[in-house]
Structure 1
Amino acid sequence: MPKWLKISLKILGALILLFILLAVGVTVYVANNKEKVLAQVIKKLNENLDGTLTVGDIKPSFFSNFPDVSLALKNVVIRDRQFPKHHHTLLDSKDFNVSVNAGALFRGVISINYIGINNASIDLYTDSTGYSNTAVFKKGKKDSIKADANEGGSSTQLKKFSLSNVDFTINNQKSHKLFNFAVDDLNGKMTYPDTGWHANVHLNVLAKNLAFNTKRGSFIKNKQITTNLDAGFNEKTGRITVKSNDFDIGGDVFGLNTMFVTGKGDDSFAFHLTNDKLLWSRAAALLAPNIQRTLNKFNLDKPIGVKAIISGSFGGGDPYFYVTSVVNDNRLTIPGAIIDACNFNAVFTNENIKGKGFSDANSIIRLNKFKGSYSHLPFTIDTGSVTNLEVPIATGNFRSKFPVTNFNNLLGSNVARFTGGNAEMNLKYKADIVNLKLNKPVVSGTIDLSNVGINYIPRNLKLTNSSISLNFTGNDLLLKNIRLQSGQSIVRMEGQVKNFLNLYYSAPEKILISWQVTSPQLYLAEFLGFLNTAKPSGKPAKRANSDNVIEQLATVLNNAKADMHMRINELHYRKFLATNVNADLLLSEDGIRINQVSLKTAGGSLKLNGNLVQKNKVNDFIVATTISDVNVSQFFYAFDNFGLTDLTNENLKGLLSARTSTTGSITNTGDIVKHSIRGKVLINLKDGALLNFKPIKSVGKFAFPFRDLDNITLSALNGDFDLMGDKITINPMEISSSVLNMDVAGVYGLTNGTDIALDVPLRNPKNDAEITDKEELKKKRFKGIVLHIRAHEEEGKLKIGWNKNHK
């Protein structure tokens, strides 16, 4: 072996032996001077305490933190002077390990380089007056510490520290804060630059409670926190900074940047947390229960990027929150709806207005560049917000453009089905939020539907190539540039609804739509759906305010009234044709009120007023009409002879004027219910004629077999009829014609029950054609022999005979 190696090994062996001897010596010293050393340690630890520190026992453990001497203190208890009042022990540690400098120890000086607290509880308590049991620690000065070190005294600068199995609590009754951690493992190394101190810390704790305000509950409750921290303290600014790139909270890793400000009279804190891939449900689970309950009613399927700032004062009050989030191509679930292809930037803060405090009432959620698709309806919200979370109000700008067939997924089968066209919406809204849903929104802006095909289910009305423009202004709704086409009918409409937004939810039955309607041609049969009872095909619409937008829309459409002022060039209904039609109609849930209808038809005019009461399948009507100088043949033809079979348009000629007041029933298909008509009819026929009228011909064959009854001219005919279902009562009526004169009275049965009395003079009125004096004509009318004839039914057959009851 080389000589130099032998010498080196001897030196190394001597050093090892020296250290062993030193260790043995220290151990022996501590063992023989336990009480003295314990007293020194307690004295040293008590130098900065204003209270009591008790230690149960002390044992040396040289090799634990070699070359320092480790002292294992048992049952260490620290209490402040006010403990008898509040009963909160600051420190109660079963194992309290202290490492002291070995060389200093032989000089009788305690220099502590390491403290380890194990199997302990730490309770930092502040009562409602602001007093804290941390008052047990006296505030020392760095200069004096340095002086002590320079003079060979003790140094209180720790190089290492650790906590294991420690229950750590910060309980501030004054500011309603409660932080409680179960520390599994906390260890760190410290250095002391001129500016203060710096520490590298490993942390593994269970956050049992993190309540910035105990009245609102705890954040990250019962979450495991694992991280490596880089911490530092600057004496000049009084700031403690803590940073971490792997701050793991319950399996979610955050970036953490924290600052604590001390020595300013009101200690404050600020947390900056970031996470680029955080699931909504896991983020909600980190928050206080009152916030969780709300957030759990929402969800985002994919992870989102989140940045949060939480700052405040340990002295009291709610902390400040500022949270931003970026959502890309996500699926958002909200109460009552799912929004697909969702993208937006969100900001939440509980200080909307600076200086108004940190509270729900001063909170705001801002949404920017929101894009999504609701039930296949794509939309954007340029800017949206929810303010005052105590009484939430939502506002925003809503835009959307899509094929109207996409509406079908939303409307279902109760309101309407679209077959084509496009929709464009540009709306500003403001609404209360009740139970996390928009309630009674105030809307301004436009909704435009173009080239639309639609089947309006409650009225079974089908429209094609139609356009609608809705303009929300204030509380009013303006309906512009509306073009509706159903079959051959084309209708143009302009309308408005006063106070629409207020009535839409609170009283839809009070909504009145005022319409101005024009049409070049209208085929009434194409709108027979309005005879149907206005109920959707699904369950009946609710009258009360519904939080379902489709149910509420159906309720409004079924309950609202429409006041229609119509101007129609041509009106067609089966065989009926009218021109220059002017009508005022009031449509409501119960039926149709017809006011001041006037039109031209059959060469004359007609005026009509009435009311249609809608029922299940058959609708009742009340109608009053005035007919002036219409071609009676054309008029009867247009109305299918009013249900008469013996007297038809082929039997009539002349100009008819009439006044009617009738009631009856009409089916949903537009057919008059047989024998339902009742009322009064007064007629006047000028320049008339009866052509091949079978009842007259039947009488003529019996009384006037040699007269031509196929063409009976009537200079004037006035009639008074009472309609009673299948019976028509003919009040006494004079018929003066070219063939015969007669007085007629009785009952004409449409099915049975005919019983008519006829008084017929035998003289031929043809000879009276030259008489112009009315009085003379009246005298000669019944001159001569008069036949009294009765036409009545017996056993279902009409019999003609003498009227034996005539007086």
Structure 2
Amino acid sequence: MKRFLKIAAVISILLTLVIGGVVFYFYTNIKPILVREINKSLAVEVKVGDITVSGIRDFPNLGVRFSDVSIAESTPYYKKYLLEAQELNLFVDIMKLYKGEYLIDGVTVRNGAIRAADLNKTTNYEITKPSSDTSSGGVSFEIKTLKLINCDIAYEHTPSKFKSNAYSPSTTLTLKYEENSTSLKVKTTLDSAFIASADDVYVARRNLKINTAIDVVTDKEQVIISQSDIAIEAINLTTKGTIGYGNSSNVDITFANDNTTVQSLLSVLPASITQSLDRIKLEGHVAIDGYFKGKTDGINSPAFGFDYQLQNTSLTIVGENISLDGIEASGELQMPNVSNSSSASATCKLSMAKSGKNTLSGNLAVKNFEMPAIQWEGKTNLDAQFIFGLIENSSFLPTDGTLKTDGKLALTYDIGNAQIAPNSLRFSGQFLVENLKGKLNNPALDVQHVNIDISANDGKLVVNQSDFAYNNTTGTLRGYIENYQSMLNENSDASMVGELKANNLVVNELYSTSDATGDPKSSSELFPINLKLATTLTDFHYNDFSAKSMTGTLISDKMNISMPKCQIEALEGNTLAGITIRKWGDNHLLDITTEIDKINISQLFKQFNNFEQSEITSEHLSGTLSGSILAKVILDQNLKPIMPKLYAKANVTIENGALIGYEPLKKLSSFVHIKDLENVKFKTLKNTIEIFDQTIFIPRMMIENNAMNLEIEGTHTFENYMKYSMGISVAELLATKANWIAKKAEKRIEKNTKGGLTAYVLMEGTPDNLKISYDRTIVKENVAEELTKEKKKFIQALKGEGTLEEETVETKNYDDVWDE
């Protein structure tokens, strides 16, 4: 017994020594073995700060701790380390390794970064040296647990321009590698994740959680994703599919969710889809079922799309008290090429949306998100506040009104130019505006009501009835518009034919004011479409001019607005006028030809602001005016006349006229001592007067009454410089009273053929410095010249070479009167 105990004790001591020796051997040689094996197997630079090994109590389990580890890229891409970690822990069973079982119990990477990239012909992670082992035997290994704690992760695939990066506070993986496949299970939290392909960003700094199982089939260069759970912020998705990573990389992934908020969904969609929704806030729930599929190599981009169903959703215009509630809708979004938003399309079947009086139902389709082609078929009943709230920088602020539609609408919107594309507008159905009220800022109009009833087909838009009231103006409009599809074009050929009636129209109220920069509004067109409207205007006003009525046909070819034969009842008489306004550089040209019949000359001067002069005013004139007048004048951008740009010619007859209290005549009266010159009255006066170069040209004319005759000609400038030559003929009794007999001896006055006396007077200067003098020679020469012309005209008439009718003064070419 004692011997057995001794033998047992010896064996125990020997076993202890053997085991102790083995452990001591591992402890004393593990570092050089590990370093040697690392250097032997890797083709890149590896740096390790320190290596520590777990104690004997864990044997045969071995824990190795590497500190300050860094592994270089095999091909520089990030120009940083492929892997770097403050701490890397490795846990293995050395006995299993000794038996050839490549099983790693655990790997932990702490406070580090992993940066991988697939390049066009290589990668940045080919860090192992080529193996000399040519045996065909399969190799497998397994990592039971791989943990990444507080690590940055980045991956890029340059052929497809795919990029991703994130920060992971916690990631747990299990990995099993066999000859042709690798199985990977991942449970990770990724903060501030970024995923993009080319210029399309799919996840923009969002928080993700992923729980997935992945199989990598090496010989097929394919990644198979089993059904997985992905949470992007508040969106919970289930997904599965495959990813090809070889020379022909591709993706085929499906995803779905049962319910998420609309706002959460929009937050993770590409900017190319959501950029047009900046002013729209959507709240509610949506269920989606979508896909991400296609090639991702070279110039190829995958397709993206999903079906959706909106449930109890609301739409609000940001900054406006405008919303739609209870939206129930379904549809789809398709992007055949995620890098090309012009290939995108979307549909929406809107069962119902409502808010107060607002209701909306129908089908919406949009194609090409770069220049959206929009089609709508359905019914709308919307408040005016809702419609104008959708329009940015609208100058109209509605306070009431309803817009209703029932039909089909199609248009294409040019996002780059912020306008509807030419000839893209189509409408078929009915459009109603009911009791629209509000304030228009530019021009400033108080709109009391607008009612419009329009029906349309593809070829013609018919204004069945419309009436309006603003400020103190009321009116109606009926007619139709041909080629209405181009109505919003820059060069529209739309034409409206119809009937316009307006009462108390004040043209000045329609002036646009200057914009914020102080530059006046300017356009190459006076009106956006062509017009031909039978027009009746009652109680018409322009500046100080008023007309009881104006009737005619209003015509516009966009560059010109005219009424060729306008009947005007105004100024206590009647006028037939041809009126045209056209663009003239940045200004406008007003062209008027008139035939007037017995209008009140005093009212004419008064309502036309005495033609922008103060010397001869409405208070100085009386009588009725008949004849023809041609006038052309440049109007500024606020339609006010530029008087230096005025040309006019008037063949007129004034009946029962008077020139009363005219200051130069008062001075003339004092000069020639004839009181009757202060108020000159006459029965009939005829003349042709021309105005250009800011000067009134008055040919010789005779003013006759019982007391005296006044023969006068001369010029009168807009600056009130006058130059008149006159012959004043009076009866002998009046001449004696004026003491002309004594002056006759001085040869300033001579006896005329009617038994009276005639004085020849020159009057020149301004009213403040007017010079009046007798000058028989100059005046008589002017008269003699006129008599010679009359005599020549009479002889030509006798010979059959002319007539005794009054000659018409040649009309000057307007463009020659001044440079534009």
Q: Are residues 1:321 and 2:304 paired? A: yes
Cα displacement (A) at 1:99 = 8.2
CA contact (8 A) 2:186 2:213 kept: no
2:144 corresponding residue in structure 1? 161
Between the aligned partners of 1:457 and 1:427, the Cα distance in structure 2 is 29
Q: Deviations over 1:503-534 (max 9, x none)?
A: 74xxx5x668755564566445x33335x4x3
SS of 2:401's equivalent in the other structure is strand
Cα displacement (A) at 1:428 = 1.9
Cα displacement (A) at 1:417 = 4.8
Cα displacement (A) at 1:393 = 2.7
The residue type equivalent to 1:627 in the other structure is I
Q: Which of these residues, 652, 656, 673, is aligned with residue 683 of structure 1?
A: 652
The residue type equivalent to 1:568 in the other structure is T
The residue type equivalent to 2:450 in the other structure is S
Aligned pair count? 674
Mapping of 1:45-56 within 5 angstroms? none
Distance 1:180 1:647, change over 3 A: closer
Between the aligned partners of 1:179 and 1:233, the Cα distance in structure 2 is 19
Cα displacement (A) at 1:440 = 4.2
Q: Are residues 1:745 and 2:716 paired? A: no
Cα displacement (A) at 1:424 = 3.7
Cα displacement (A) at 1:97 = 1.9
Mapping of 1:112-191 within 5 angstroms? 115-117=105-107, 161-165=144-148, 186=172
For normalisation by structure 1, the TM-score amounts to 0.56
Q: Which of these residues, 363, 376, 384, is aligned with residue 382 of structure 1?
A: 363
Q: Are residues 1:351 and 2:336 paired? A: yes
Cα displacement (A) at 1:658 = 1.0
Between the aligned partners of 1:31 and 1:692, the Cα distance in structure 2 is 136
Between the aligned partners of 2:538 and 2:364, the Cα distance in structure 1 is 50
Mapping of 1:345-424 within 5 angstroms? 347-351=332-336, 360=340, 363-369=343-349, 382-387=363-368, 392-397=370-375, 401-404=381-384, 415-418=395-398, 420-424=400-404
1:779 corresponding residue in structure 2? none
Q: Which of these residues, 561, 566, 590, is aligned with residue 597 of structure 1?
A: 566
Q: Deviations over 1:192-241 (max 9, x none)?
A: 9xxx999995634669999796x66997699886565567999xx99956
Task: Calculate percent identity across the aligned residue pairs.
Answer: 10
Q: Deviations over 1:137-170 (max 9, x none)?
A: 99999xx99xxxxxxxxx9897x82223599998
Distance 1:138 1:174, change over 3 A: farther
Between the aligned partners of 2:396 and 2:23, the Cα distance in structure 1 is 96
Distance 1:717 1:176, change over 3 A: closer
Cα displacement (A) at 1:364 = 1.7
Structure 2: unaligned runs, 5 residues or longer: 1-11, 35-40, 44-50, 67-73, 612-616, 734-751, 781-820
Mapping of 1:220-619 within 5 angstroms? 229=212, 242-245=226-229, 247=230, 254-260=236-242, 270-274=252-256, 276-277=259-260, 305=286, 307-311=289-293, 318-324=301-307, 329=313, 341=324, 347-351=332-336, 360=340, 363-369=343-349, 382-387=363-368, 392-397=370-375, 401-404=381-384, 415-418=395-398, 420-424=400-404, 427-434=409-416, 438-442=418-422, 443-445=424-426, 448-453=432-437, 457-460=441-444, 464-468=448-452, 481-485=465-469, 487=472, 489-492=474-477, 494=479, 496=481, 501=486, 504=489, 508=490, 516=497, 518-519=499-500, 522-524=503-505, 526-530=506-510, 532=511, 534-536=512-514, 538-539=516-517, 560=528, 565-568=533-536, 581-584=551-554, 595-599=564-568, 606-609=576-579
Distance 1:360 1:595, change over 3 A: same
For normalisation by structure 2, the TM-score amounts to 0.55
Between the aligned partners of 1:762 and 1:448, the Cα distance in structure 2 is 81
Q: Are residues 1:95 and 2:87 paired? A: no
1:645 corresponding residue in structure 2? 619
Distance 1:518 1:725, change over 3 A: farther
Distance 1:307 1:27, change over 3 A: farther
Distance 1:489 1:61, change over 3 A: closer
Structure 1: unaligned runs, 5 residues or longer: 1-19, 43-48, 52-56, 76-82, 146-154, 353-357, 544-553, 764-781
Cα displacement (A) at 1:432 = 3.9
1:625 corresponding residue in structure 2? 594
1:788 corresponding residue in structure 2? 758
CA contact (8 A) 1:164 1:183 kept: no
Between the aligned partners of 2:597 and 2:474, the Cα distance in structure 1 is 27
Between the aligned partners of 1:365 and 1:31, the Cα distance in structure 2 is 70
Between the aligned partners of 1:366 and 1:647, the Cα distance in structure 2 is 74
CA contact (8 A) 2:697 2:714 kept: yes
Between the aligned partners of 1:130 and 1:501, the Cα distance in structure 2 is 56
2:814 corresponding residue in structure 1? none
Between the aligned partners of 2:76 and 2:721, the Cα distance in structure 1 is 110
Q: Deviations over 1:702-751 (max 9, x none)?
A: 9999x9xx99996x7644456799998765445678x6784643579999
Q: Which of these residues, 714, 729, 740, is aligned with residue 759 of structure 1?
A: 729
Between the aligned partners of 1:680 and 1:209, the Cα distance in structure 2 is 81
Between the aligned partners of 2:20 and 2:627, the Cα distance in structure 1 is 137
SS of 2:372's equivalent in the other structure is strand
1:773 corresponding residue in structure 2? none
